[in-house]
Structure 1
Amino acid sequence: MSKITCECGHVNPEGTVLCEACGKPFEANQHLNNNKPEQLLNMRYDGSARRSQTYQRTFIDKTWNFFSSVKIGVSIIIVIVVASALGTIFPQEMYLPPGSDPSTHYKDQYGILGQIYYQLGFHNLYSSWWYLLLLAMLGISIVIASIDRFVPLYKTLKKQKPKRHPNFMKKQRIFGETDSGNIDYKKLKANLKSKRYNLYEEDGNILAEKNRFSRWGPYVNHIGLIIVLLGAMLRFVPAMYMDEFLWVREGETKQIVGTDGIYYMKNKDFILENYDMEDEGNSQFRESLQKQSAPVPENYQTNAVIYKRTDLPVVPGKEPELKKVKEAEARVNHPIPLENGISLYQASYQLNEFSSMTFKLHDKGDEESNYGEFTVDLIEPKDEYKLDNGTVVRLERYFPEFELDDGEPKQVSKFPRNPAFIFEVDAPGEETEVSFAGIGVNIDASGNNDYKLGLTNFETRDVTGLTVKKDYTLPIIAVGAAIFMIGVIQGMYWNHRRIWIQPKGTGVWVAGHTNKNWFALKKDIDRTLEGTGIAFPVDQQEEKDAEERRKDDGIISD
């Protein structure tokens, strides 16, 4: 790559717009920042040579240039935002009712739009390969765009010298000339130091600079964003993040998912407390509570017993040997902590789930008759039940939660919320009969049955729903967010200000530049030049704008 040697002797990289040392404009490269050279210098990135706008030769160059483009980065963000919004139209698969089949649930609940939503893969949007690819592309774009701009800008600001080329001085927005031999440089330096400027001198030339660190604010932002993106992507690594759901019935002991079979939990008791409108303590909520069509829960909690398996390593099929670890209560926003960052959060509940049903066999036309009773455990039902008179009742099919679809029973979920059964009744010496029985339903399949199965009793119990959660990514995301905010504050509340002062013959030249907040810079210059014998410089951009306005108003001619 060809280098550019300035008249000051400094060797600049190809594509440099302003000499890194003296600031001399290389007019041939002005097109890199402007469609045509302007009267005032374009000081963006201090005229440094950015790779993305210099090299266009190889595939690597073109890839670098693609990802370094701000337009490409913004386009990727827009695509991610639109995709994320689409993912909220219908619930993600992880939030469907337990036991639901996604392939039918979306169509049944949301019609043709739900079916399209499922077939396009939006039901698992945030873990899809293309969504993760978009996040990775955004991260690559942020990294490349930052390096493309930060490295050359850092080198340029590090190499800048107090002595600047005359064209650099004249083409600054703030520029002024003073022809006087009575200039108090001592007071000038004191005034600059009082404004907390750092002074650099070379052959009588002065560079006063402060708040250079504010130029790095956007890059600190980018570092924070990259860390946040990294934390978000690590949520798909099982060792870093887990969010599982666990249903446990009262009295049931169940293995806690995500603990490699080490921890178990027993639902000792589930407690639900509703707001009492007669309670004086709830008087401020009474009007709101009265508008509710159902009782409003004030507290629901699980009294749990946590066990740890002692017969390790785990042998599949072997009954676990459990040791009680602790008793604890899981309430909303008050989880039960376990080891390895895992916690149990109270998330949901199901009241009065059926646990067992008792049936009796009697004559079809006489409900007072009774040939025997049997009880079906709805969690682990048996295949057949033998009655005292020798009759065998076989459980042909079991629907934990059913609904009729065109006269045919259809299973909705695997939880016994509305159970129904297809029984075969095999009485001694008689033909086998088929019956369909459930809550409020009893159908004679053939219409010629002699016997009938009647529901005599049932038992219910409450079920608690717990979220088993582990999240090592949250601290990473929090650190990224904190770094991002530091960058925002760094770039928003400070601005990089520079003032160049150069002796010229019997006078002095003054130029100034800032990346933003020109009013504050001009105010600083006015105060530092006061009493030094140096005339206040002018804002050439304001003069140019005023001249254009006068031309537009016809006050002056071209």
Structure 2
Amino acid sequence: MSDQSEGIVEKVWDIFSSMKTGLALLGIVALVSGIGTLIPQEAMDPQKAQSVSAIWRMLGFTHLYSSVWFRLILGLLCVNLIVCSIQRFGGIYNQTYKPKLPSASSTVPQKIQAKITGKEDQLQQAALETFKSEGYRLTSDEQENHWSFVAQKYRWGNWGSFITHISFIVLVVGALVGSMTGFKGYFSAGAGDTLSIKDIELNRGTVTENFKIQINSVEDRMLANGERDNWYTDLSIMESGKEVARQTLSVNHPFTYQGITFYQANFAQGGKFTVDLKGQKIPIVLQNQGGNYYQVPGTDLFVILSALKPDTNQPVILYQVYKGNSPQPVKMGQMSKGQTDAIENTFNLTFDGLAGYTGLQVKKDPGVSVVWIGSALLMLGLILSFYLRPVTISGIIEKDEEATLIFGALSGKLKSRAEEEFEKINNKLKAKIG
């Protein structure tokens, strides 16, 4: 590699190893996230996102988190964290497993320090016994003119900030994997309906799976005291005409199949009908207040349920029939359960009773498991950083006419804790030596 290429690589490395670069990228991510909370996002609320000015939608402000440039910023932040972690790894490893022993009294920590004079063997034995009894890991070395040591307690705490940095990398990778390979969508259907997973309304991503969803039943259950229990949807997964999975889901109790999760989002009242078209009986479910419509096969007639009285014993509905693009209905009427009306001398419509209409959020996020790993690493890093802060005490016994134990503690960010531990060790050493 030429000197010029090495210089470019070194400059790029310096940029990404800089804390300023990391802070700048974090600032941009925070700014974009702030904008995303103020401007409705298509993935979160498609209807509100459509009400945003066209110029903002064109500039991508309604799908910030899935934009290429936002993913690029996250990728650069990942690179920055990785480079910083690589640079810090060697120092943390040596600090944990290969601590540097004092070579002279001048290399012993100065801010928190003490000296004890006595016999060489007595001082050394007292240090060994004291640090062992207090749970310290002791690394020592004996030379002709001195005996030196480093005592470490909670040495795994050295890895707290490193693991926290790694956790952010894993979290960003998980978010990127989820946004680039998953999808999020919504569909509403009535009891008895069957639709393909590819037919759901997508907010983001692409569906590659190819199975059908069958809605067996939908209920809005009430408790004996009149309060709502929950919304329930009995759902089956169909492949090649066979049921391969089935579960009843409700609010806060989703159903997952092949990494795709179905969430109960809403519920609407509806009605079950039978369309009798030249002897062919077709069961349909219509949502209350025109939430959906049914086009009679081979005609330009459309049926909607315009109103409903949800009386369990005597339900009553109002229906309307439209023809083509006409804004006025060609037929409207009221029916009780079991009643049949003839429509335009073309088909008969029978009201069979009440039916639920479910609304389900559908989500596939392959990055969830990665995000969970990142979250676990983050918790581990924070625990190590705040609850297992390492204490390091190093010292030396210089072999002169009268031996002196000179030892000191690294203060770190929590000086008070280091002073407390040091004072405890100092008092025990003095007591042993007498």
Task: Check whether TM > 0.5.
Answer: yes
Of residues 455, 462, 485 in structure 1, which corresponds to 2:332? 455
Of residues 39, 53, 62 in structure 1, which corresponds to 2:11? 62
Unaligned runs of 5+ in 1: 1-56, 108-113, 283-295, 310-321, 358-376, 386-394, 402-417, 425-434, 439-452, 535-558
Q: Is 2:324 the partner of 1:379?
A: no
Decide whether the 8 Å contact of 1:183 with 1:533 is kept in 2: no
Of residues 41, 59, 73 in structure 2, which corresponds to 1:92? 41
- Counterpart of 2:316 in structure 1 is none
Decide whether the 8 Å contact of 2:196 with 2:212 is kept in 1: yes
1:115-264 alignment, distance < 5 Å: 115=54, 117-155=56-94, 160-169=99-108, 172-177=110-115, 184-185=122-123, 186-197=125-136, 198-203=138-143, 204-211=146-153, 212-238=155-181, 241-257=182-198, 258=207, 260-261=209-210, 263-264=211-212
| 1: CA distance, partners of 2:273 / 2:378 | 53
- Counterpart of 2:3 in structure 1 is none
1:417-496 alignment, distance < 5 Å: 436-438=327-329, 453=330, 455-456=332-333, 462-494=356-388, 495-496=390-391
**Other structure's SS at 1:235 match:** helix
Q: CA deviation at 1:480?
A: 1.9
Q: CA deviation at 1:456?
A: 4.0
- State percent identity of aligned pairs: 23
Decide whether the 8 Å contact of 2:152 with 2:393 is kept in 1: yes
Question: In proportion to residue count, which structure has more strand?
Answer: 2
| 1: CA distance, partners of 2:293 / 2:129 | 89
Decide whether the 8 Å contact of 1:106 with 1:118 is kept in 2: no
Distance 1:215 1:355, change over 3 A: same
**Other structure's SS at 2:215 match:** strand
Distance 1:419 1:79, change over 3 A: farther
Cα deviation digits, residues 471-493 of structure 1 (max 9, x gap): 44323222221122222222222
| 1: CA distance, partners of 2:41 / 2:404 | 69
- Counterpart of 1:513 in structure 2 is 409
Q: CA deviation at 1:337?
A: 4.3
Task: Decide which moves more: 220-229 or 328-337.
Answer: 328-337
Q: CA deviation at 1:423?
A: 5.3
**How many residue pairs get matched?**
367
- Counterpart of 2:238 in structure 1 is 307
Task: Decide which moves more: 455-464 or 206-215.
Answer: 455-464
Q: Is 2:271 the partner of 1:341?
A: no
Larger Rg: 1
Q: CA deviation at 1:196?
A: 2.5
Distance 1:350 1:187, change over 3 A: same
| 2: CA distance, partners of 1:472 / 1:72 | 29
Decide whether the 8 Å contact of 1:348 with 1:464 is kept in 2: yes
| 1: CA distance, partners of 2:220 / 2:72 | 44
- Counterpart of 2:214 in structure 1 is 266
Paired letter, 2:192: G
Of residues 410, 413, 427 in structure 2, which corresponds to 1:527? 427
Decide whether the 8 Å contact of 2:160 with 2:384 is kept in 1: yes
Paired letter, 2:254: P
Distance 1:270 1:191, change over 3 A: closer
Decide whether the 8 Å contact of 2:126 with 2:433 is kept in 1: no
Q: CA deviation at 1:504?
A: 5.0
Decide whether the 8 Å contact of 1:256 with 1:468 is kept in 2: no
**Other structure's SS at 2:294 match:** coil
Q: CA deviation at 1:328?
A: 3.9
**Other structure's SS at 2:38 match:** coil
| 1: CA distance, partners of 2:139 / 2:59 | 62
Q: CA deviation at 1:234?
A: 1.1
Q: CA deviation at 1:157?
A: 6.2
Decide whether the 8 Å contact of 2:43 with 2:184 is kept in 1: no
| 2: CA distance, partners of 1:482 / 1:69 | 26
- Counterpart of 1:365 in structure 2 is none
| 1: CA distance, partners of 2:25 / 2:426 | 45
Unaligned runs of 5+ in 2: 1-5, 199-206, 276-291, 306-318, 336-350
